[in-house]
Structure 1
């Protein structure tokens, strides 16, 4: 029976160091592609740019691009997911500025509404163009991208339910319905009903989930 020889510690350290360095270089290359795409969207006001334009702007190779992304769709999806993670962090911070469960949920609703509302002179093609297409063609990807935000709203609904201010039941479904109401209302604000305010949206959502009168 042969004796198992343990790998020397120096070898493990060398391999780990090499792996960390390779991971860091890959992350830097990916970020350069993302930054290039962001600049192109800002300049064009649309997602109508080519992979080659992203490659040229990033000063990297086409081969490197396809080592990290399957194509333009995956690049835009990465930008979309990153934007939603940032948005979720802003919503969590707004909620944490309040101590009681219901004001925390209200802050989250009003912050999300503010994020989603169109702003004069500001084009957000990632949301106005790509997100709408994604919703039709790849709904599971939309759901996955919104998961960080949904997790936060679920926590807040659970907290409000525990305090007796929101009906107990299916908090994740309630959170999803609140989010969908807020997002749809923000994108349709200024339509036939005229401009809507964040407090109006909050009151509408609250009537749907409030424990009052149950």
Structure 2
């Protein structure tokens, strides 16, 4: 299509400005809904709230809410994805402060374990309540939400493999298995099939994962530089 067939330049500029303005207003409305929902979750310590509560508190309309979200589930999913993205960024920053690739991976596993573990002193309803519901009902959305973490763990495993610390022929698959093992163990810690007197630690989970990817019990190089 030629420039002439698209209309005068001034018309295109006017339309583009209008679209940008509409998009900006929509983004601001969405953010108000997200911020309000986050406040309500923090106050209640649970995801047990209604859409109408969020609408009233955000001082927006129900019609506006449903223009942007298909329901409460999509609102929570947006918060869940944002929280996981921030968690991945935090883990990345902390892990990359280590010089040794194997220690970077260790930090990532231990941080993921601690952030996934139920803690009576820390309210994490998005992870402890909603995440489990999401896993059962919408596994595809769970996979998409965890993509930033999967990318990070894949990179860390590839780096460790390049240094000869571990062997990883399929790093992305290994990363997924490591993440699932870490998060499931964290959620299950203290359940009926675990030892209540001696709860599992992040170090134990790391040693188990390392043994799996190295083929050696406890993993190689136990005295590598921290």
TM-score, scaled relative to structure 2: 0.87
| Distance in 1 (alpha carbons) for counterparts of 2:39 and 2:212 | 41
SS across alignment from 1:15 = helix
Gaps of 5+ in 2: 221-226
Partner residue in 1 for 2:199 = 195
Distance in 2 of aligned mates of 1:124 and 1:5:
55
**Which is further off, 5-14 or 88-97?**
5-14
Report the counterpart of residue 89 of structure 1 in structure 2: 89
Question: Which structure 2 residues correspond to residues 12-161 of structure 1 after superposition, within 5 A?
Answer: 12-161=12-161
Q: Is the 8 A contact 2:118 2:128 kept in 1?
A: no
Deviation string for 1:105-143 (max 9, x for gaps)? 111111111211223322211111111011111111111
Query: Deviation of residue 4 (structure 1)?
Result: 4.2
Distance in 2, Cα, partners of 1:5 & 1:105 = 55
In the alignment, the residues of structure 2 paired with residue 120 and residue 23 of structure 1 have an alpha-carbon distance, to the nearest angstrom, of 40
- Separation in 1 of the partners of 2:126 and 2:104? 28
Number of matched pairs? 212
Instruction: Report the Cα distance in structure 2 between the residues aligned to 1:81 and 1:203, rounded to whole angstroms.
Output: 29
User: Hey, what does 2:169 align to over in structure 1?
Assistant: 169
Unaligned runs of 5+ in 1: none
TM-score with structure 1 length normalisation?
0.92
Map Cα deviations across residues 52-74 of structure 1 (whole Å, 9 max, x no partner). 11100110000000000011111
Distance 1:47 1:189 in 2: 22
Q: After superposition, what is the alpha-carbon deviation per residue over 1:130-163, rounded to whole angstroms, capped at 9, x for unaligned?
A: 1101111111111111111101101111111121
Q: Distance in 1 between matches of 2:17 and 2:148?
A: 31
Once residues 123 and 212 of structure 1 are traced to their aligned partners in structure 2, the CA distance between those partners, rounded to angstroms, is: 37
Could you tell me whether the CA contact under 8 Å between 2:168 and 2:174 is conserved in 1? no
Q: CA RMSD in A?
A: 2.0
The whole-number CA distance in structure 2 between the counterparts of 1:202 and 1:208 is: 10
* Structure 1 consecutive aligned stretches of length 4 or more whose deviation exceeds 4 Å: 3-6, 211-214
